[in-house]
Amino acid sequence: MPWSQVTHTFQARSKGCYLVTNDVLKAIESEVRKYKIGMCNLFLQHTSASLCLNENVCREVREDLTMALDHIAPESLPYKHTDEGPDDACGHVKCAVMGVSLDIPIRDGKLALGTWQGIYLCEHRVYQHRRSVVITMQGEK
């Protein structure tokens, strides 16, 4: 089965959850349309940011997710790993909880996302960072 792969770098963002579906679709548009059926894997190459699928319309969901993650892994815990600042260790914890990889089916040249599903980039560090994702597609063309 054929494979395709692209790397995309998102614009620098500070802490929060961001809807990046359109960024991903633009990065893969010339390749994904060639697939009749397959899988698309997104792999974020970082340890203090994460990816997830969630609500694609309501901004409050992204704000609530950021708030809930801060509750799960607050900066105020007595972390031992503090070399890169107080937001680094809790960023690693949030990344471990959420993950850095997504698998999305490809159907008839498009990502088979549900009606209300969007791809989120969750930045767990306070200051802006540029994050890169490797997008690998495989399937029947």
pLDDT at 75: 93
Q: Is the pLDDT of residue 1 over 90?
A: no
DSSP 81-123: --TT-TTHHHHHHHHHHH-SEEEEEEETTEE---TTEEEEEEE
* % of the chain at pLDDT higher than 90: 96
- pLDDT mean over 8-27: 98
- pLDDT mean over 90-94: 96
pLDDT, tens digit, for every residue of 44-69? 999 999 999 999 999 999 999 999 99
Question: Beta strands of 47-91 (E only): which ranges?
Answer: 49-55
pLDDT-derived band at 79, boundaries 50, 70, 90: very high
